[in-house]
Amino acid sequence: MADNKKKKLYPKETVTPRRPVILKSDREAPKDQVKEKPEKEKQPTIILKTREQSAPKDDRPSSPKGQSMESDIGQPCKIAQNENKEKKIIEKPSPPLKIMTEPIKLLDENLEFNPAALEFMNDASLNYLVVGVVGTQGVGKSMIMNLIAQSKPCEDICQRILNSHELPRESEYEENNVNAIQDQIENMNFVENPESKKHSIDDTFKFKMQDIKHIETGVHCTKGIDMYVTEDRVILLDCQALWSPSLIDEAANTNPITTRSANVVTVDCLQLASYLMSICHVLIAVQDWFFDYNFVRYLQTAEMLSVWSRGGEGGDEGGRGDTRPHLLLLHNRCAAPPPRASDAYRKAFQRSNLQLHSGMYLYSDINKNGIGVDGASKDCNLETCGSPLNMFLLPEISDDYQNKDIYRGHPSFETLAKRLRATVLGVHRHAITNVPNLSEKGWFHFCNKAWESIRKCTFFMEYERFLP
Q: pLDDT (tens digit, 9 = 90+) per residue, 108-155?
A: 999 999 999 999 999 888 899 999 999 999 999 999 999 999 888 777
Q: Residue 192: pLDDT above 90?
A: no
pLDDT (0 to 100) of residue 398: 83
Helix, strand, coil % in the chain, rounded to nearest 5: 45, 10, 45
More confident residue, 55 or 317: 55
Q: Residue 323: pLDDT above 90?
A: no
Percent of the chain's residues with pLDDT above 90: 32
* Cβ-based burial of 438 (10 A; exposed 0-12, middle 13-18, buried ≥19): middle
CATH T-level fold of 104-167+198-465: Rossmann fold (3.40.50)
pLDDT (0 to 100) of residue 249: 84
Report yes or no: 377 and 336 within 8 Å, Cβ to Cβ. Answer: yes
Nearest to 149, CA basis, from 204, 226, 230, 221: 230
Domain boundaries, the chain: 22-49+60-83, 104-167+198-465
More confident residue, 303 or 173: 303
Q: How far apart are CA 47 and CA 41, in angstroms?
A: 11
Please, which pLDDT band fits residue 187 given cuts at 50, 70 and 90?
Answer: low
| Residues paired with 393 in a beta bridge | 331
58-62, 169-173, 206-210, 235-239: which has the highest mean pLDDT?
A: 235-239
Q: How far apart are CA 152 and CA 133, in angstroms?
A: 22
Report yes or no: 395 and 422 within 8 Å, Cβ to Cβ. Answer: no
More confident residue, 145 or 58: 145
22-26, 57-61, 304-308: which has the highest mean pLDDT?
A: 304-308
Write the CB contacts of 434 (distance below 8 Å, at least 6 apart in sequence): 320, 323
Please, which pLDDT band fits residue 210 given cuts at 50, 70 and 90?
Answer: confident
Q: pLDDT (tens digit, 9 = 90+) per residue, 261-311?
A: 889 999 999 999 999 999 999 999 999 988 899 999 999 999 999 876 544
pLDDT (0 to 100) of residue 407: 81
Q: pLDDT (tens digit, 9 = 90+) per residue, 376-422?
A: 444 455 666 566 789 999 998 888 888 888 888 888 899 999 999 99
pTM of structure = 0.70
CA distances for 162 relative to 147, 302, 401, 412, 418, angstroms: 14, 33, 11, 15, 18
Q: pLDDT (tens digit, 9 = 90+) per residue, 360-374?
A: 866 544 433 334 444
Report yes or no: 321 and 312 within 8 Å, Cβ to Cβ. Answer: yes
pLDDT (0 to 100) of residue 132: 97
3-state secondary structure 354-395: CECCCCHHHHCCHHHHCCCCCCCCCCCCHHHHCCCCCEEEEE
pLDDT (0 to 100) of residue 380: 53
* Cα 196 to chain centroid, rounded: 32
Average pLDDT for the chain: 74
CA distances for 375 relative to 167, 412, 417, 424, angstroms: 36, 11, 14, 18
Please, which pLDDT band fits residue 204 given cuts at 50, 70 and 90?
Answer: low
Q: pLDDT (tens digit, 9 = 90+) per residue, 433-458?
A: 888 889 999 999 999 999 999 999 99
The lowest-confidence range among 54-58, 94-98, 278-282, 392-396 is 54-58
